[in-house]
Structures are given as C-alpha cells and as structure tokens.
C-alpha cells in the first residue's frame, strides 16, 4: 500500500512538472510541413520566427527571451529600459506622434519623444480570439497612450504567410494614425528593395560623418545596403533609406532562404509625409550577433472615428535559394515572382 501511495505521489509530481513546463512555453507554432512560424502572444503578439520547416529562423529574434516569466517581461512603463524582442512587429505611424496624444507622461509629450513605441501595443499580452491549425487571431489591450487597440491575424498556406493588422480607435475623439509593419533581420543579412533609381527619396546617416558608413548600392534594379565592418574602435553606425514606391516589395535572404514581402498598392500621397511606403534601417557594429536591419512598410495615414478601425496587410513567400553573393543578380525565377 505504501509503495502504491509513493508511486501515485511521484506520478502526480511528474504530471505537475510537465504541466508547469508546458505553462512556461509562451510560443505558439503554426506549421504545415512546408513553412513554420512562431508567435509570442505573451509579448506584443510578436512574430518571432519564420522559416522553411526545419531551417534556420530568417528573423532576428533572441529565443532566450521567448519564455521568460511574467516578472521578467517588459512592463507598460515607457520610462523603463526597452527590451527588444525584434521579429516582426506592428507600430503606429508616424513615429513623431507616438507620445503627443497622451498626458500620462508629460515629459515624453513635451519632448515629442520618438522612443519607445507604445508598450500596450508592442509588449503587452495579447488575447487569443481565434485559433486553428493554420491561422490565429490575437488582440491587444486598449492603449491609454495612443488610444487604439490592435488585432492581428497570422495565417499560413503552402509556402506563404498572410498577415493582417487593424487598429481600432477606443477613444471618444477622432484620432489619426497609420499602420507600420516592421520585420527585423540581422544587419549582415542581404536585404533588397526592387525599385526604380528615382524611387529613392533620401538616405539618413545617424552618426558622425567622419566614421565609416554603410553603402547603399543600386544594381540589377534593386537597392541594398552593403554592410561594412566598423573600423577598429569605431562605434556602430545607423542609417535609413526611404523609398516612394507604388508596388512595395522587400526581399530578405538568410541561410539559403528567400523571404519575399509584398503588399497592395496605396497612393503614395496617403502615406504620412514624414514616412515613405518602404523604409530600410540598418544598425551595425563590431558585434554582429546583435546587429539589425528593419524591413519596413507604411500604410495610409487616416482619421479614425471613435469605434472605427483601419487595416493593413502583407503577404510573405518563403522560398529555398542557393547561395547569393554580395554582387550576384537575382535569379530569373525570383524576378518573375516580383511582377
């Protein structure tokens, strides 16, 4: 009898440990045998991984952060240090208006702070409102700062990912915002923007002019940054390029995989004048592991009546690819997919 009780107690403890371990896993995986994406509803509804099944993650995201306990996750206090989960995130546009429409942090309002993003939209726990084997819909809390609530839907089919985000005005007054999709890869990965040479609006270099800077090259009808190692003792560099394109496409290459990001045509006049339809940001240093490129798309800046919503979407295609060197042209079969 005593042995039976001990065995039952051990069994209960074992099951309890398994249940506790499962409860610690915050990541939700959607996979169909061709592609696989991983989502983190517990922290901003972030898409933290995307790849062909069994291949390396294309996105830049530190997996050691994915399953942190509640007390170690980001807080809703924008004055606390920002903890980057990277991956694919959604922001509001423009950046200059992030903190001017709230009064809880007057110092951020007065300075027209451009960092951090609204933690209720990028770091809070999202509620799962619908989930199937191939699709999930998640919902943020209502933000007291930007006065919107995000809803995101992620779906997979074949080798494609379908992403939709909406922002609902939960304020009693009309607000104006655009949606901003930001996909992060490592700063040393190859990223290309198919465009005409005249589509480059401007490039900004956010460091001193006397340090080594990345080179934005135009070849084979594509813009791309050529990452250059900083000189000895030199601080990292940051740069950003803005493209006014009508049919936005961004291509990322990593670990013999191509990520092709597309979105629908939007009249470029509807984008907030401080932003562009496509933007590429690069931040590189001597520590390549933590370096960054942002593959950004902006959507229409609109007035949102109380209770109304705006919506934006992207389609991703993930393809196997052979090694692509720095100056190599895009294969013809990839070019055909860009039309």
* Domains, the chain, ordered by start: 15-337 (2.70.98.10)
Cα–Cα distances (Å) from 307 to 44, 82, 248, in that order, read 22, 30, 29
170-186 residue pLDDT tens: 999 999 999 999 999 99
**The total number of residues written for the chain in this structure:** 339
Give the pLDDT score at 95.
Answer: 97
Residue 201 in contact with residue 242, Cβ under 8 Å?
Answer: yes
Flag residues of the chain having pLDDT under 70: 1-25, 208-210, 323-339
| Long-range Cβ contacts of 225-231 (<8 Å, 24+ apart) | 225/191, 225/280, 225/282, 225/293, 226/326, 227/187, 227/188, 227/282, 227/284, 227/291, 228/284, 229/284, 229/286, 230/284, 230/285, 230/286
Is the pTM higher than 0.75? The answer reads yes
H/E/C letters for each residue in the chain?
A: CHHHHHHHHHHHHHHHHHHHHHHHCCCEEEECCCEEEEEECCCCCEEEEEEECCCCCCCCCCHHHCCCCHHHCCCCCCCCCCCCCCCEEEEEECHHHCCCCCCCCHHHHHCCCCCCCCHHHHCCCCEEEEECCCEEEEECCCCCCCCEEEEEEEEEECCEEEEEEEEEECCCCCEEEEEEEEEEECCCCEEEEECCHHHEEEEEECCCCCCCCCEEEEECCEEEEECCCCCCCCCCEEEEEEECCCCCEEEEEECCEEEEEECCCCCHHHCCCCCCCEEEEEEECCCHHHCEEEEEEECCCEEECCCCEEEEEEEEEEEECCCCCCCCCCCHHHHHHCC
Give the pLDDT score at 82.
Answer: 93
239-261 residue pLDDT tens: 999 999 999 999 999 999 999 99
Give the pLDDT score at 226.
Answer: 87
Residues 296, 298, 299: CA angle, nearest 5 degrees? 150
Residue from 320, 268, 319 nearest 297 by CA: 268
Q: Is residue 60 packed enough to be buried (19+ CB in 10 Å), middle (13-18) or exposed (0-12)? A: buried
Q: Does the N-terminal peptide bond of residue 332 adopt cis geometry, omega within 30 degrees of 0? A: no
């Amino acid at each position: 009898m005593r042995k039976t009780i001990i065995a039952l107690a051990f069994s209960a403890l074992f099951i309890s440990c398994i249940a506790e371990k499962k409860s610690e896993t915050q990541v939700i995986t959607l996979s169909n045998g061709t592609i696989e994406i991983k989502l983190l509803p517990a922290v901003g509804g972030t898409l933290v991984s995307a790849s062909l099944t069994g291949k390396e993650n294309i996105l830049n995201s530190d997996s050691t952060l994915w399953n942190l306990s509640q007390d170690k996750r980001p807080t809703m206090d924008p004055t606390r240090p920002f903890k980057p989960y990277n991956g694919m995130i959604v922001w509001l546009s423009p950046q200059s208006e992030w903190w001017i429409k709230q009064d809880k942090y007057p110092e951020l309002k007065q300075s027209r702070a451009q960092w951090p993003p609204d933690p209720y939209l990028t770091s809070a726990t999202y509620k799962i409102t619908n989930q199937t084997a191939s699709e999930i819909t998640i919902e943020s809390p209502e933000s007291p700062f930007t006065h919107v609530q995000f809803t995101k839907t992620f779906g997979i089919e074949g080798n494609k990912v379908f992403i939709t985000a909406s922002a609902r005005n939960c304020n009693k007054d009309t607000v104006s915002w655009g949606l901003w999709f930001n996909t992060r890869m490592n700063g040393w990965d190859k990223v290309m923007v198919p465009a005409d040479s005249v589509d480059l609006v401007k490039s900004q270099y956010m460091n001193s002019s006397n340090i080594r800077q990345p080179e934005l090259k135009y070849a084979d009808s594509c813009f791309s940054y050529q990452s250059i190692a900083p000189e000895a003792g030199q601080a990292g560099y940051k740069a950003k390029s803005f493209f006014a394109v009508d049919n936005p496409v961004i291509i990322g290459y990593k670990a013999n995989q191509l990520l092709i990001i597309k979105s629908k045509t939007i009249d470029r006049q509807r984008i907030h004048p401080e932003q562009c339809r496509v933007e590429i940001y690069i931040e590189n240093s001597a520590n390549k592991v933590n370096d960054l490129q942002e593959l950004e798309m902006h959507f229409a800046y609109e007035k949102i009546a109380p209770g109304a919503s705006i919506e934006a979407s992207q389609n991703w295609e993930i393809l196997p690819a052979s090694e692509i060197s720095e100056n190599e042209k895009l294969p013809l079969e990839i070019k055909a997919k860009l039309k």
